[in-house]
Amino acid sequence: MVDPAARMSELRDLLHFHGYRYYVLSSPLITDAEYDALYNELVELEKAHPDLITPDSPTQRSGNDLSEEFAKVRHVAPILSLANGYSVEDVRAWEERTLKLLPSGTILSYTLEPKLDGLTVVLTYENGVLVQAATRGNGEVGDDVTPNIRTIRTVPLRIPAHANGMTAPERLVVRGEVMYLKRDFEALNARQIEAGLPPFINARNAASGALKQKDSRITASRPLTAYVYQVVASSGIMLDKQWDMLEYLGNMGFLIAPGAAYYPTLEQIEAEIPKWEANRDALDYEIDGVVIKVNDLRIAAELGVVGKDPRGALAYKFPAREGSTKLLRAVFTVGRTGRVIPNAQLEPVFIGGITVSNATLHNFDYVKALDVRVGDTVVVKRMGDVIPNVVGVIAGARTGSETAITPPEHCPYCDTRIVHPEDAVDYYCPNVRCPERVYRQVEFFVSRGALDIDGLGAQTVKTLIEKGFISDEADLFDLAEKRDQLLELEGFAEKKVDKLLTGIQAAKERPLARVITALGIEGVGSTIAADLAVHFGSLDAIQNASAEELNEVEGIGEVLAGGIRAWFDDPFHSGIVGKLRERGVNMQGAPRERAGDSLEGKTFVLTGTLPTLTREQATDLIESHGGKVVSSVSKKTSFVLMGDSPGSKAEKAAKLSVPILSEADFRALLGIE
Ligand code: IVH
């Protein structure tokens, strides 16, 4: 059993050291999440042993984001923090503790809100006009960042933002969170990398940087978003429920914490939490947990505060998605187009529930912008199922023995000299017969979005290539003649082989758009493939089209048109197309059965995931009613059909005033159930 006094002293030392590295030297050795873990451990020990709290404990100094360069603002009420919970047990214990402090028989109900991962701002409105905006600072005094906050379009400069019959109180002080939407953050980092600058490690750091600009024109160029979730002080608002308050704030024109909801019982909250966690990646914004709040604000006020944390609310924190570890080696993968992708092999690190030992470094521009080297301690971020990312380097941990990551001179799979086309970001293995390229291409050819051949997983593809059964994707269609030899392969039982051969046979009949997609031409995804299929009607016509003719298809620019032309001109590719043709793969666009012509002359753009229809089904419906699906939004687009997690197309549609339809609207338009 560790002596708590000794551990507490050790934690204080560690926190002082890492705090100094972070705040004074701006050269941290550990991630924010690791720092928080140490901090939380100390908080817990101090709760258990209040007599061992020392005045120099880092917990005795509340967070401070004060900067000498800004005027100071004294907050009208302390800007509090939140106690954390990490499990259902913590949530139940919190309710139990709360109920014990209240008259017996009290029944509590709650709001559940996302815990937005940004920076607190405190906004003061006088007679409906924004007069001041401040950071949290140390909770008592913050930095005056009014000019910067004014640049944020989601912060109303006047409330109510729309004349709606409501009047603003004489004074209203609200609290909210300033942050980057994920897509804005990604765009920002893409610009940083393009300019050869290091990308920001995470959206929160980037938002903090934007908010602390002395020149608000710089803040204005950074598209921040602000959500509001609390009233700090007000004159004359009679609402006494958090849920009513959120509704009120929404009516005043604030963007309120999206997805916030009222629940009469804690059981319901418990059922909702895993949904938030599972859905975390699909949201437009980063959350690091959810916040449970006692709905009755009078009760919440009575419950009071312990330390800096109001008793009437609890932050349920999700596991951190970031960790730091050592980059042991750089390895290079080669994709189907020959593109070389640098990857980091890592000392295994446990992040958010899984062990991570590989992460992508994207491309060599990214490597250069990050200045990441072998031997570095790196920050790794993991999101959902995607490959983890190296997002930053802890430069302070360098010893001098780190070595640069440079593109390989030869392909690690076929030893061909790697090429770097002028003006291209990427490096390529130019050998179209490179076994790794063939493997990746065949894997893509048979995948769900392409020819969707049943029974052909990655391992089977690998075996078929290794054993010499296929040397390109067209060879798949010769396998039927080699049934006996296939049966001799280890793990290729009769049932499996027959399933495979049936699947391959069936794939010959796939619609033209899918065949085009499966070819794997760079830049030709399923939407462009469908556009090509509709426009030209057959693969022969596409193959014979000039770059100018290809350029006539909506959504195909000059560069892509040239790329498609060059692809067909490559003898290796035209050879494959020839083989596919000989083996009876469909090369004709089927004349469509017409279900009606109500969409005649209308063009649609699809974005996001629709609740029930797949992309293909929606396209089919549109086309069978005489409409057209194109890949990018322009003023000429008739409708944007939008599902969940839409991309930038939705934004563009809004900008160009193109009507946006949900699946339900779309069904109504076609008069289908
Ligand atoms: S309520 C007394 N609600 O989380 C009220 N905070 O870990 C305390 N945060 O500093 C805040 N989303 O910056 C509240 N829906 C939400 C929130 C939220 C994010 C942040 C806030 C706070 C931090 C505490």
Whether residue 289 sits in one domain with residue 196: yes
Whether residue 183 sits in one domain with residue 100: yes
Atom of ligand 1 nearest to the CA of 84: 7
Catalytic residue at 115? yes
CATH number at residue 551: 1.10.150.20
Strands 119-126, 171-179: pairing is antiparallel
Whether residue 212 sits in one domain with residue 181: yes
Buried b (16+ CB within 10 A) or exposed e, 447-470: eeebbebebbeeebbeebbeeebb
Domain end position, chosen among 317, 348, 370 = 317
DSSP string, 33-100: HHHHHHHHHHHHHHHH-GGG--TT-GGGS------TTS-EEE-SS-----EEE-SHHHHHHHHHHHHH
Atom of ligand 1 nearest to the CA of 177: 13
Q: Note whether residue 595 is domain-resident.
A: no
Q: Note whether residue 423 is domain-resident.
A: no
Whether residue 517 sits in one domain with residue 500: no
Whether residue 400 sits in one domain with residue 378: yes
Question: Rounded to an integer, what distance in angstroms lies between the CA atom of residue 231 and that of residue 411?
Answer: 60
Q: Note whether residue 588 is domain-resident.
A: no
What pLDDT is recorded for position 68?
Answer: 57
pLDDT along the chain (673 residues), means of 10: 88 82 67 87 90 78 56 93 94 96 95 96 93 93 91 87 85 96 92 87 89 81 91 91 95 90 96 94 92 97 94 94 93 95 95 89 93 95 83 90 97 97 91 93 92 87 92 95 92 91 94 95 90 89 94 87 95 95 91 80 90 80 88 90 85 88 91 82
What pLDDT is recorded for position 592?
Answer: 62
Buried b (16+ CB within 10 A) or exposed e, 101-116: eeeeeeebbbbbbbbb
The residue type at 278 = A
Q: Report whether residue 642 contacts ligand 1, using a CB cutoff of 6 Å.
A: no
| CA 246 – ligand 1 centroid, Å | 14
What pLDDT is recorded for position 150?
Answer: 87
Nearest residue by C-alpha to atom 17 in ligand 1: 115
HEC letters along 424-441: CCCCECCCCCCHHHHHHH
Whether residue 183 sits in one domain with residue 279: yes
> What is the three-class DSSP state of 237?
coil
> What is the three-class DSSP state of 393?
strand
| CA 180 – ligand 1 centroid, Å | 16
Q: Note whether residue 593 is domain-resident.
A: no
Domain end position, chosen among 317, 334, 363 = 317
Q: Yes or no: say if 625 and 597 are a contact pair by the CB < 8 Å rule.
A: yes
Nearest residue by C-alpha to atom 6 in ligand 1: 115
CATH number at residue 179: 3.30.470.30
Question: Rounded to an integer, what distance in angstroms lies between the CA atom of residue 167 and that of residue 127?
Answer: 9
| Lateral strand order in the sheet of 660-661 | 628-630, 603-607, 639-642, 660-661
Strands 403-404, 373-374: pairing is antiparallel
Question: Rounded to an integer, what distance in angstroms lies between the CA atom of residue 122 and that of residue 392?
Answer: 30
Buried b (16+ CB within 10 A) or exposed e, 61-97: ebeebeeeebeebebeeebbbbbbbeeeeebeebbee
DSSP 446: T
pTM beyond cutoff 0.85: no
Whether residue 218 sits in one domain with residue 158: yes
Q: How many CB atoms lie within 10 A of CB 329?
A: 11
Q: Report whether residue 207 contacts ligand 1, using a CB cutoff of 6 Å.
A: no
> What is the three-class DSSP state of 417?
strand
What pLDDT is recorded for position 63?
Answer: 39
Q: Note whether residue 424 is domain-resident.
A: no
| CA 226 – ligand 1 centroid, Å | 13
Whether residue 168 sits in one domain with residue 281: yes
Given 115, 212, 317, 381, the catalytic residue:
115
What pLDDT is recorded for position 62?
Answer: 39
The residue type at 176 = G
Q: What are phi and psi of 379, to 5 degrees?
A: -95, 130
The token duo for 283 is 């949201």
Atom of ligand 1 nearest to the CA of 117: 19
Whether residue 551 sits in one domain with residue 527: yes
Whether residue 253 sits in one domain with residue 389: no
What pLDDT is recorded for position 306?
Answer: 92
Nearest residue by C-alpha to atom 12 in ligand 1: 115
Whether residue 286 sits in one domain with residue 177: yes
Q: Report whether residue 80 contacts ligand 1, using a CB cutoff of 6 Å.
A: yes
Residue carrying structure tokens 């059965």: 593
Ligand 1: residue of 81, 82, 110, 273 to mutate (most ligand atoms within 8 A of CB) is 82
Ligand 1: residue of 291, 292, 306 to mutate (most ligand atoms within 8 A of CB) is 291
| CA 308 – ligand 1 centroid, Å | 12
The token duo for 41 is 């451990």
The total number of structural domains in the chain stands at: 6
CATH number at residue 396: 2.40.50.140
Whether residue 550 sits in one domain with residue 501: no
Atom of ligand 1 nearest to the CA of 315: 7
Q: Report whether residue 115 contacts ligand 1, using a CB cutoff of 6 Å.
A: yes
| CA 112 – ligand 1 centroid, Å | 12
- The residues facing 406 across adjacent strands are none
Nearest residue by C-alpha to atom 2 in ligand 1: 80
Q: Report whether residue 311 contacts ligand 1, using a CB cutoff of 6 Å.
A: no
Q: What are the angstrom distances between the C-alpha of 462 and each of 66, 71, 195, 454? A: 58, 64, 40, 16
> What is the three-class DSSP state of 482?
helix
Q: Report whether residue 79 contacts ligand 1, using a CB cutoff of 6 Å.
A: no
| CA 289 – ligand 1 centroid, Å | 10
Q: Note whether residue 597 is domain-resident.
A: no
DSSP 523: T
Question: Rounded to an integer, what distance in angstroms lies between the CA atom of residue 290 and that of residue 180?
Answer: 18
Q: Note whether residue 594 is domain-resident.
A: no
Q: Note whether residue 590 is domain-resident.
A: no
- Residue closest to 270 by CA, chosen among 316, 310, 230: 316
Q: Report whether residue 229 contacts ligand 1, using a CB cutoff of 6 Å.
A: yes
| Lateral strand order in the sheet of 171-179 | 129-135, 119-126, 171-179, 225-234
Residue numbers of the domain that contains 299? 72-317
Residue carrying structure tokens 């700090």: 232
Q: What are phi and psi of 247, to 5 degrees?
A: -65, -45
Nearest residue by C-alpha to atom 16 in ligand 1: 115
Domain end position, chosen among 275, 292, 317 = 317
Alpha-carbon 117 to chain mean position: 13
| CA 54 – ligand 1 centroid, Å | 27
